[in-house]
Amino acid sequence: MSNKSKNFFKGIKDTSPLMIPVVPFGIIFGVLAIDLGLTPLMTIAMSVIIFGGASQIIFLQLFSAGASSFVILSSVGAVNSRHLLYGTVLSEHLSDLNLTWKIIVSYFLVDQAFAVSNNHFKKNKEDKDKYFHLIGGGLNCWTIWQITTIIGIYLGSIIPEKLGLTFAIPLTFLALLVNDFRKFINVIVIIISGSVATLGYQIIPYKAYVIVAAFVGLFVAFILTKFVKKNYE
């Protein structure tokens, strides 16, 4: 197997456990979209063109509430602003790619793929084909997302709401953080970011609480890492 395909399949393998909660999420999206009066074609178009669970759900929420295009666009932008940080973190490893590959890789830069590829890239700095890991992981998410959207469109109403499957979404992200619960600074950053987001949810406009909380968390990390270092010098 070539090095590229090895990276590609590793990406698929690494993201696979994270796909379990994506299944109900995609189905829920399909059900909601049809419920709110979008056509099946429009619903599929959303999953292909936007390809972002949080953005699509926010879109539906605001669309159904009759929000203006401006509010919808700015809210989608705010929800997506976390990708700016993902891009910043990964750009170090991707800056040698040509423009076409940068465009392809960017389309697939979703939360789950970012989380596993970020670790993979750090461990394989010298491998110039490592970006195929992100493409494999991203394509895995993409395929599951499109299939479950379609399932949601046609079969969704069978799934009982009482199961509370949306709870699987925070659990996925929790699972991505388990290694960080053992590190002191990480725990502080986690608690602060989580509290800012929870308390700011009602106050911060345009659903920007995610990025506001992330920046507060990073600022705390910036201060704490400085302070901890000084202690050792």
Partner 1 sequence: MSNLALIIYCGLITFLTRFSMIALLKKEMFNDRIREVLSYVPSAIFPAIIFPAIFLNNSGFIQLDDNPKILASIIAMIIGVFSKNVLATIFSGLFSYWTIIFIF
118 to 157, contacts with partner 1 by CB under 8 A?
118
# binding residues, partner 1 (CB under 8 A): 91
Cα(4)–Cα(195) distance, rounded to whole angstroms? 41
Residue 96 vs 126, nearer CB to partner 1: 96
Q: Any contact of residue 82 with partner 1 (CB under 8 A)?
A: yes
Residue 147 vs 204, nearer CB to partner 1: 204
**Ranges within 5-64 binding partner 1 (CB under 8 A):** 17-18, 20-21, 38, 42, 45-46, 49-52, 54-55, 59
DSSP annotation string for the chain: --HHHHHHHHHHHHHGGGGTTHHHHHHHHHHHHHHTT--HHHHHHHHHHT--HHHHHHHHHHHHTT--HHHHHHHHHHHHTHHHHHHHHHHHHHTTS-HHHHHHHHHT--HHHHHHHHHHHHHTTT-TTTHHHHHHHHHHHHHHHHHHHHHHHHHGGGS-GGG-GGGHHHHHHHHHTGGGGGSHHHHHHHHHHHHHHHHHTTTSGGGTHHHHHHHHHHHHHHHHHHHHHHHH-
At its nearest, how many Å lie between partner 1 and the CB of residue 149?
13
Residue choice 35, 155, 157, 180 for contact with partner 1 (CB under 8 A): 180
Q: Any contact of residue 105 with partner 1 (CB under 8 A)?
A: yes
- Contact window for partner 1 (CB under 8 A) among 4-12, 140-148, 151-159, 190-198: 190-198
Q: Any contact of residue 203 with partner 1 (CB under 8 A)?
A: no
Residue 1 vs 218, nearer CB to partner 1: 218
Residue choice 90, 139, 141, 144 for contact with partner 1 (CB under 8 A): 90
Cα(164)–Cα(24) distance, rounded to whole angstroms? 10
At its nearest, how many Å lie between partner 1 and the CB of residue 127?
15
Q: Any contact of residue 227 with partner 1 (CB under 8 A)?
A: no
Residue 29 vs 59, nearer CB to partner 1: 59
Residue 2 vs 184, nearer CB to partner 1: 184
Q: Any contact of residue 91 with partner 1 (CB under 8 A)?
A: yes
Residue 117 burial by Cβ neighbours in a 10 Å radius (0-12, 13-18, 19+): buried
